[in-house]
Amino acid sequence: MAFLVAGTLQVASQVADAQESLGRKGKYSVKDPRVALALCSPEVSASTAALLEGVFQTLGFESCQRQEASVQGFRGELTRFQEQLDAHGGSVGCAFVALVARPWQLRQSQQLVRELSRCKALWGRPKVFLLLSSAPGAVPEPGAFLASLGELCGRRPHWSLLQLLTEVFSRTAEESAGAAYCPVLRSSLRGALCLGNVEPWGPEPEPGPSAQYDLSGARAALLLAVTQGRLGAQHDVEALGGLCQALGFETTLRTDPTAQTFQEEMAQFRKRLDAHRGPVSCALVALMAHGGPQGQLLGADGQERQLEVLVQELSHCGALRGRPKIFLLQACRGGHRDAGVGPAALPWFRRWLRAPPATPSQADVLHVCTDVQGRSSRGPTPRSPNQADVLMVYAAAEGCVAYRDKKGSDFIQTLVEVLRADPKADLLELMTEVSWGVVGVAWGEGLDSAFFSAPVFCSPPSHPFAEGGSPLPSET
């Protein structure tokens, strides 16, 4: 019994620590020691490695390790890093891992992200992964990218890391005009992450990067939702449709599309936008259906359609070149459930005893790929200029199920609530609030946070756009 009580108190303490780590106003507190690790393949120059260590120190990381290893040895080095943190026994404010190698050697980096997510010392703490290319002629050159990031952080200590990266990406895009440069950012952060030497709840930060999308033209939305066999899906459709109307989007709704209809509706949507006489400022596409581990969406007929094919369709829209294109995906991405998921039918005290040690393992991760020329892709070529200005927001992390109940999904319902409350705020900042809201609702069941990726933003969206809930039916 003593062991049970001790374990229960430890769980409660860890959950409280995770809540406290976000501080006030949904911002991470990084007052505890920050740790950094650089894993470099043998061909990485000494000057790049030294510059990386200097940037870590500029960003306030007290512990900075650098290991040279083959790419095959990265996972072993990361395991040792994780074991060191857990053996230390103290709290960690933030972990920053930089992987420097040839871009095609980093295709399986998601496995390394999962490896560090097992670290108990980092439960509820932000984990940043930065992938830098060591290929000759890489855009951006690793040293230039790191110098720009460090310099900007020193001048804008109140900016969140997402704001800083947006500005760095914008500068890089300007300097490499015509190079079809397309970085990728993936995030499940649940709050703003400020690495400057200021308290996260200090004075209000300065406005974000000055470059913003011009949203004075027409706005269009396409909602494709399978409602058959998806309890509560109609509530998501109604909530999202009302939000689009409130934000001035001309909205097209199609329910229970077949797999072929998904493709046809996307093609018709693109044609309508290209035929529009005036400028088009923004497009929003919401796809709500059952899903699969390879990114498939299942139509009402049970047939599959690959998500990448639908994204490619809109990427060919001439009216949206240089304009933000937002995809919301309310669907499963696999059959895994994140750490700590238990039956919702259990009494509350048994659910509490079986609760996850802290937050779900897929939360609190920022994954930045600065050069993705060689990464694998089942869809469009990553460096195609048509892939710029795309924001994809998922209801679950890669490989995990998404949830909904009779009232709808936590993801869609939380997203609508957040955007209605502050419709003029920065999009990426609002998405972190959505992640925080989803985890806040789902903490007792151990559900995953929302997850978003931006296969580029040369300037930050100035307008918001972006399945959690009681685990009744999942989307698989």
Q: Which residues are catalytic?
A: 290, 332
Q: In what order do the strands lie in the sheet with 290-291?
A: 290-291, 296-298, 304-306
Calpha distance 451→366 (Å, rounded): 10
For helices 109-117 and 74-88, the axis angle rounded to 10 degrees is 10
